[in-house]
Amino acid sequence: MPPRPTHRLDIHLVPHDRTDAALRHVDALWDSWVSEGFLAGAGRSSEPGARAHALVAGGFVRARKDDPGEVVLYANQVGGFQVRCPACGTGLAREFRKQGDTVCPSCGGAFPIDALDCRPPVALGRASLVLCDVADAEVTAIPAGWHVILRRVR
């Protein structure tokens, strides 16, 4: 039996940059959020800061840096996601590839992951800044160049 969605929601902020420089982007965003009072302190994990509710309405339980050591797929963990061809709308769950192009069996189009119609959104990334157990899915202070991935977790 597949796992069922839960009430717990994490938000992964994934830099568009998929190189090791992504770690520096995560560190820079983290440092700016500490200075703005959204996070309580430095390190790999932090409690919410005094102004956490200005970042996420209702706050969050903690924040952490995710460094998997390689490029990984950030996506919904519980409840799955849909992948559709951006050209013809055909479901591509069987054909879906994290690396390389996904080829649509209906129209023959070949698409990289960034071009696919994924719901909820997914992203390939080298690292992420994670807001754990958020009260709301909207984050206010995200600079350009980041994917926002909502992830239901067990």
DSSP assignment of 91-110 equals: B-TTT--SSSPEEPTTT--E
Contact predicate 137/10, CB 8 Å:
no
What pLDDT score was predicted for residue 97? Answer: 78
Contact predicate 147/16, CB 8 Å:
yes
pTM for the complete prediction?
Answer: 0.86
Q: What is the pLDDT along the chain (154 residues), one digit of tens a residue?
A: 444 455 789 999 999 999 999 999 999 999 999 999 999 998 899 999 999 999 999 999 999 999 999 999 998 877 777 899 999 999 998 898 777 899 999 999 999 988 999 988 999 999 999 999 999 999 998 999 999 999 987 6
What pLDDT score was predicted for residue 59? Answer: 94
Cα dist. 74→18, 25, 47, 145 in Å?
12, 17, 23, 16
DSSP structure class, residue 68: -
Cβ neighbours for 150, distance < 8 A, ≥ 6 positions apart: 9, 10, 11, 76, 120, 121, 137
Q: Which residue has the tokens 């568009």?
A: 16
Its sign, for the CA torsion 83, 87, 89, 93, is negative
What pLDDT score was predicted for residue 6? Answer: 59
